[in-house]
Amino acid sequence: MKIVLLGAPGAGKGTHCKRVAERYGIAHLSSGDILRRERAEGSELGKKAQGYMDAGALVPDELIVEMMSQAVKKASAGYVLDGFPRTVNQGQVLDKSLAAQGDGIDMVINLEVDDRVVVERITGRRSCPKCGAVYHVKNMPPKKDGVCDKDGTGLVQRPDDTEEVVRNRLETYYRQTKPVVDYYKSGRTVHDIDGNGDADVVANVIFRKLDPLARKKK
């Protein structure tokens, strides 16, 4: 099963892709997570991506496309894409490379969330630098303030989750990534889902779309 989950930053792509990957036994391929790992390792790619990420801008397509095509090739049991494609060009390259293998994306889901909710969610987001667990100061607080429930590590805020950078990321989303929704809509069905509500409710709506596809693919 090959799924694309679209949505603005803070729409809940990470949360829902994780749940989808677990439910259907497929890989969760997050371009943002892969880039953050590359940065932590100090790789060439990580160094090149750094400035763009911290400013809330997009990393150039040629770097991302190469990185994601390697990740996709390895995910033989299927995958859910989180944060990729983020430009129409990325979407076209992905479609072409899948079509060359007689393959294609099975379903595109678009999470729709109000800007106000996005800013509130992102600026309150905290994560564990050790295990990657994600919390929210109000909506999903850890048991002990500022500390990861799983391993006791001090939680941190992503440098691009401050209010100023979030505004840039939203602007980047409307200018470069929203057209990806229209690109997919021009050739296929895109399932728009209201992502403003409670995560469990949104997850159930997503599962109701994907369960029949998963049964068909078995």
Catalytically active residues, by annotation: 13, 86, 125, 158, 169
Measured at CB, which residue is nearest to ligand AMP?
Answer: 32
Nearest to 154 by CA among 164, 163, 144, 169: 144
Q: Among 48-56, 70-78, 192-200, 210-218, which window interacts with ligand AMP (CB under 6 A)?
A: 48-56
Nearest to 5 by CA among 120, 103, 84, 66: 84
Among 2, 19, 86, 121, binds ligand AMP (CB under 6 A): 86
Which residue, 48 or 191, is less far from ligand AMP as judged by CB?
A: 48
Which residue, 168 or 196, is less far from ligand AMP as judged by CB?
A: 168
Which residue, 59 or 107, is less far from ligand AMP as judged by CB?
A: 59
> According to CB under 6 A, which residues from 120 to 179 bind ligand AMP?
160, 169
Spatial strand order of the sheet with 27-30 comes to: 27-30, 79-82, 2-7, 107-112, 190-194
If one asks whether residue 11 binds ligand AMP (CB under 6 A), the answer comes out as no
If one asks whether residue 80 binds ligand AMP (CB under 6 A), the answer comes out as no
Token pair belonging to 181: 């929704």
Among 17, 59, 193, 202, binds ligand AMP (CB under 6 A): 59
Determine the straight-line distance between the first and last CA of the chain, rounded to whole angstroms: 9
Per-residue three-class SS string for 166-194: HHHHHHHHHHHHHHHHHHHHHHCCEEEEE
Residue 59 CB, nearest distance to ligand AMP (Å)? 4
Nearest to 215 by CA among 59, 138, 106: 106
Residue ranges binding ligand AMP (CB under 6 A): 9, 31-32, 35, 52-53, 56-59, 64, 83-84, 86, 90, 160, 169
